[in-house]
Amino acid sequence: MIIILKQNATEEQIDHLLERVTTLGFQPHLSRGTFRTVIGLIGDETKLQPAALEAIPGVAEVVPIMPPYKLASREAHPQPTVVDVSGVKIGGGHLAMIAGPCAVEAADRMEQIAAAVKKAGANLLRGGAFKPRTSPYAFQGYGEEGLKILRETGDRHGLPVVTEVMDPRRVELVCRYADMLQIGARNMQNFVLLTEVGQAGKPVLLKRGMSATIQDLLMSAEYIAAQGNTQIVLCERGIKGFDPATRNLFDVAAVPLVKQLSHLPIIVDPSHATGRPELIPACALAGVAAGADGVHIEVHNEPESALSDGAQALLPEAYAAVMQQIRKLVEVVGGQW
Amino acid sequence: MIIILKQNATEEQIDHLLERVTTLGFQPHLSRGTFRTVIGLIGDETKLQPAALEAIPGVAEVVPIMPPYKLASREAHPQPTVVDVSGVKIGGGHLAMIAGPCAVEAADRMEQIAAAVKKAGANLLRGGAFKPRTSPYAFQGYGEEGLKILRETGDRHGLPVVTEVMDPRRVELVCRYADMLQIGARNMQNFVLLTEVGQAGKPVLLKRGMSATIQDLLMSAEYIAAQGNTQIVLCERGIKGFDPATRNLFDVAAVPLVKQLSHLPIIVDPSHATGRPELIPACALAGVAAGADGVHIEVHNEPESALSDGAQALLPEAYAAVMQQIRKLVEVVGGQW
Amino acid sequence: MIIILKQNATEEQIDHLLERVTTLGFQPHLSRGTFRTVIGLIGDETKLQPAALEAIPGVAEVVPIMPPYKLASREAHPQPTVVDVSGVKIGGGHLAMIAGPCAVEAADRMEQIAAAVKKAGANLLRGGAFKPRTSPYAFQGYGEEGLKILRETGDRHGLPVVTEVMDPRRVELVCRYADMLQIGARNMQNFVLLTEVGQAGKPVLLKRGMSATIQDLLMSAEYIAAQGNTQIVLCERGIKGFDPATRNLFDVAAVPLVKQLSHLPIIVDPSHATGRPELIPACALAGVAAGADGVHIEVHNEPESALSDGAQALLPEAYAAVMQQIRKLVEVVGGQW
Amino acid sequence: MIIILKQNATEEQIDHLLERVTTLGFQPHLSRGTFRTVIGLIGDETKLQPAALEAIPGVAEVVPIMPPYKLASREAHPQPTVVDVSGVKIGGGHLAMIAGPCAVEAADRMEQIAAAVKKAGANLLRGGAFKPRTSPYAFQGYGEEGLKILRETGDRHGLPVVTEVMDPRRVELVCRYADMLQIGARNMQNFVLLTEVGQAGKPVLLKRGMSATIQDLLMSAEYIAAQGNTQIVLCERGIKGFDPATRNLFDVAAVPLVKQLSHLPIIVDPSHATGRPELIPACALAGVAAGADGVHIEVHNEPESALSDGAQALLPEAYAAVMQQIRKLVEVVGGQW
């Protein structure tokens, strides 16, 4: 950690600061420049909160030089982590092709959608039984009944299932049915839920929050990992942007950036990122070309009567077409599923 | 709701759409323009999800004309709501002056801080017993022990207490000690928590999420209100911005905007909004001048040894100074506490 | 255009509004809903400013239903425009591979860089002779001397040259040397420059501004087109984002979105979008996979002594490697250069 | 400047780096930490471009410790600058109350507006003769004829006039009529225009760009100041935000932040910041309470027939009301006009 002092920092302030950091177990290294004085701290900076140092009189700025996450960092774990979801591998060249409706639908409709996405090449089935809806008056999901439908449909097609959990009290219930637990964007910093899910012993799909930096995302992964579970797949699903032309802003550079900083797999979700079916194929391909470990796409066979978010779902035939393009792309850029 | 059709929408698509919206209970009103066809829907649009209509072939865009919240809206409730926190009124000219440390500290330190902020004019005491920290390795709060300290300190000084609850399983516990429950920015769309807190029967301080629009904020208030509790105080605490010079971006226009759209009180939190003590007084005054129903400021008597977020705390004497300025301002712009 | 009235709009206000829009040459179509009244305007809305209507008492909101650009719109011109830069075609399956240093360097260094990028497959050479530097104390470019070096280097290698023009008074000068004029991100809404460049009769590379929506970008293209020049190539080069981990935020969805709305080619610039060499290859591939009509990359053979922006330049060998990957990708997704 | 090395930086890279910075005239100060090596540079860092150092192999990050602007900095000039616009003082306790229509209107209408704003307490008259319109088909301003009307109207009421200049070729023309030159938000980084205006010898009103950080804004002021002109007034007029409820996002914290970093006056423009008349009064008051050196408000006596941007103009009576509130506020927070 580097402490930059204010131009007018007094000698008393500097003495106090040196004493303070020494007490905290660091060896300070003072450097008086032409205009400013700078103090380097030698020691394990992850034990320090920068905010505490910034509060000391005379301090202008504190610059961390180590990332605040450890278990999620590439430095700590140079090899890519391969997550195993009931036999489907994700990461290290293995791709997750997750598809299904936004919300779990009635059994017959789930059957149709699952059959279609399986045929198109999906290897994981999604569907929400508990939905985080912005309106309290909107459909909130079928609950446990939905979990059963999802489980049975997945089993019939040999597709492990992934579904969102929103409530720490229901982690156990969801674990009874799901192969992978999804933490949604709005809960990315729900630390209570992260901790609970981290202890559940199931692979986790962690979606990036709408105003989360990549460091924030990795810190949330660290929460899960700190419970002893590093079977975590990250997901770029669009962040908040200023252009109303798309629902969110698809940050494709997050893919190579995460790969540089972390060993965890990262997939892309162009459905939520764009919110517009006509942009989904191009963004799915962009994600794969950038090195994503998989693609998450919402598919529905009758979007206009979908229980949730029909407007951003691809029709099964459109999904099959984009999967065919992804297959060709993968031959060029590597990866397999 | 208004449906704008694509330029190349076919007659079949239009017929299908008209039939569909009629089935849904709306009376469509077709208007063929020079370049586009538009359909107005007559009926109660809060029963419709725009996304479902957007999924219908031929539809270019769906424009809602009613806000999606009801209980939180000014139209439904023209008079300002006055929230009562164990005798302290907020809204309708009554101001909340909330102050205290970020995290609840040890009892003697809490005592010093509470005495100081009470003397300066605070009427509510804050302090976190459960802290939402971005790092799993950071101090997470004193838990129930912290709640006890907060309660006792508040009682000694006649200050009702407000504290954050993060876990739906602990709402009951927190209610035993707190006069007002805070939902933090990161949990603004934790719908499980909103619902649980809505049922607890205590006044709620709902902080705006970092990427939440004002409509998102009011929808989260609607979640609480839908449980029968409209004792809600909103809080603008800074949103995500692109300038690293401040921790967040203080959106002071949220104050008059909320007042126009909703009957709920709104206060400002310049501590989190700026993250920099030297900017807090100006932003506190700006908030009050804009019509805020109160000000939330973090105060600590020894920021460099604060258990959490010391860098953004005001010293008691700085807090007293800004309170004196607020007092003078209030004489001009109205309000009292 | 659709006018949504306020809930409490009076009959007098409605009468006044109907009279006003009729005077302006529109046929109003009134529709009284359950909660709100809506007026559709039949006529050519591009003749109206929404702001003027919003100022009329009783109006809550004005919703345009036509894009405000015409010459740049796909509706007006369904076929993709192919831009011809001294024989190099861009658009409609033809790709622009633009490479070179940030600023034009001394002749021998330009020679080395040009030889390298030509060999790697670039078909256009870039370099700035007039640099828009945020600091008045930074190197501002070699001026006309730089233009000469760029021209001669390009000619030697059969590479048409593209260079930025910042000053309307120098458009003529730059035209004497350049095959294509670049308008930089900071000048995207410099309407004086857009107009001047539109009249110059040279192909234009128009970079997206850092806070420009896609509609803003297309409106700036419209400015150029309105002067009779539709030889315009758009460029996504990153917009303002909140994560300091990258210099800008690469909005790859802009590529399919522009293709849907406009007939103009669009290329990507991962150098400026990310500002970090290690992220450039992945983002270049993402852009091509998303359908971009070309890639703009800064290349320098000795970044640490570059006259400008060395930190984001690729070394010639890294550029050759990414070009080889792009070549393979193009075989799959189509396009040629 | 501080250089943070990559964890795997080699001794050769470190040697090369030390040699390089020594050649550049700096005295390096090496500090080997537990995990990373850090090099402090002693010397005048404003002579270095961080980007050039970042390009050196082994370098992870370069952290400047001095602001890149000098003439605009508070450190260089502790006393607040007082700008004099033909007798009207701005800064150091003197407030600019700028009002008038968006575009200069016909003479009789200008007369009515000027009379009204003068009566309400404005001390400077604004109006655009050259308008930066996003559409090439929108009204572009009356040009020189508009300048004449503005000048004559201002003279009649004893109000110095401020008007925008967009074209470096017209700076001289505009100077013939105006007391103060405005540089609009879209031209904040039009460095050619900044330079030209800096040489004109007239006070400048520099509006913040929509994606400009405060450092960007101060760097643009530095461009003007570097030409020998420090008679610059900065203006916060809203930046790009994600909530469509307001036209821009009013960053009121920019006021105390600029005051901390710079000696230049800063005013606020709630008209452009919010784009909604009903939010303007609250934001104007917020700006003054935060310490702004003035307020810029668009006023029109018949918004619905305004030549430009009528929707965001206040009626004269609304302007008079907000001015009366500002007057009361100023008695409390200080300042005069």
**Global ipTM:** 0.95
What span, in angstroms and rounded, lies between the C-alpha atoms of B55 and B65?
Answer: 19
Lowest mean pLDDT among A31-45, A143-157, D16-30, D321-335: A31-45
- Cβ atoms A95, A330 nearer than 8 A: yes
Neighboring chain B residues of D260 at a CB cutoff of 8 Å:
278-279
Which tokens in the block code for residue C194? Answer: 């857009």
A250 at interface of C, judged by CB pairs closer than 8 A: yes
Record: contact A135-B68, CB cut-off 8 A: yes
Burial class of residue A189 (count of CB atoms within 10 Å of its CB; 0-12, 13-18, 19+)? buried
Q: Is A137 exposed, middle or buried (0-12, 13-18, 19+ CB in 10 A)?
A: middle
Report how far residue C317's alpha carbon sits from residue A270's, in angstroms, rounded to the nearest whole number: 32
pLDDT at A47 over 80: no
Asked if residues D5 and D30 have their Cβ atoms less than 8 Å apart, the reply is: no
**Higher-scoring residue by pLDDT: A54, A165:** A165
Residue to mutate among C7, C26, C35, C77, with most B CBs inside 10 A, is C35
Q: Is the pTM of this model over 0.90?
A: yes
Residue C247 has pLDDT above 80, yes or no: yes
Asked if the C-beta of A24 comes within 8 angstroms of chain D's C-beta atoms, the answer is no
- Closest partner residue to C245 among A214, A252, A273, by Cβ? A214
B contact test, residue of A169, A186, A213 with most B CBs within 10 A? A186
Q: How confident is the model at residue A177 (pLDDT cuts 50, 70, 90)?
A: very high
> What integer pLDDT is reported at residue C51 of this predicted model?
72
Whether C127 shows a pLDDT value over 90: the answer reads yes
Instruction: Quote the pLDDT of residue C162.
Output: 98
Q: What is the pLDDT of residue D318?
A: 97
Given this model, what pLDDT does residue D76 score?
Answer: 86
What are the residues whose beta carbons fall under 8 Å from the beta carbon of D111, sequence distance 6 or more?
D153, D156
With 0-12 / 13-18 / 19 or more C-beta atoms within 10 angstroms meaning exposed / middle / buried, residue A19 is exposed
What percent of chain C has pLDDT above 90?
Answer: 79
Token pair of C303 as six digits? 């970044």
- Closest residue, chain B, to C43 (C-alpha): B34
Q: pLDDT by residue (tens digit) across C277-288?
A: 999 999 999 999
Please name the member of D20, D51, D211 whose beta carbon is closest to the beta carbon of C211: D211
pLDDT at A19 (0 to 100) = 92
pLDDT tens across B313-332, in order? Answer: 999 999 999 999 999 999 99
Residue B310 pLDDT: 84
- Closest to A189 (Cα-Cα) out of B219, C249, B207, B136: B136
More confident site: A40 or C330: C330
Q: Which residues of B touch C36 (CB under 8 A)?
A: 65-66
Task: Please report the pLDDT score of residue B252 as a whole number.
Answer: 98
Query: Which amino acid makes up residue C83?
Result: V
Rounded to whole angstroms, the Cα distance separating A194 from A222 reads 9
Percentage, residues of chain B above pLDDT 70: 100
Which of B29, B31, B65 shows the shortest C-beta gap to C4? B65
Q: Per-10-residue mean pLDDT for chain B, 337 residues long? A: 89 93 89 84 77 87 88 94 98 98 97 98 98 90 97 98 98 98 98 97 98 98 97 98 96 98 98 96 98 98 88 95 97 90
Is the pLDDT assigned to residue C69 strictly greater than 80? yes
Can you give the pLDDT at residue D287? 98
Position A185 pLDDT exceeds 80: yes
Burial call C194-209: b when 16+ CB within 10 Å, e when fewer: bbbbbebebbbbbbbb
The pLDDT value recorded for residue A210 is: 98
- The confidence score (pLDDT) of residue C266 equals 98
For chain D, which ranges sit under pLDDT 70? Answer: none
- The pLDDT value given to residue B66: 84
Instruction: Please state which of the ranges A162-166, C328-332, D133-137, D313-317 shows the lowest mean pLDDT.
Output: D133-137
Query: Which comes out higher in pLDDT, residue A25 or A48?
Result: A25
Chain B residue closest to D67 (CA)? B245
* CA nearest to B87, candidates B4, B174, B6, B180: B180
Going by C-alpha positions, the residue among C149, C165, C161 that lies closest to residue C112 is C149
- Are B316 and B113 a contacting pair, CB within 8 Å? yes
Q: What is the pLDDT of residue D93?
A: 96
Mean pLDDT of chain C: 94
Q: Is A34's pLDDT higher than 80? A: no
What whole-number distance in Å separates Cα of residue B72 and Cα of residue B76? Answer: 8
Q: What is the pLDDT of residue B279?
A: 97
Mean pLDDT of A180-187: 98
Across the B:C interface, residue pairs with CB atoms under 8 Å apart total 64
Specify the pLDDT at position A193: 98
- Going from the C-alpha of C297 to that of each of C84, C286, C312, C319, the distances in angstroms are 20, 14, 9, 8
Q: What pLDDT is stored for residue D184 in this prediction? A: 98
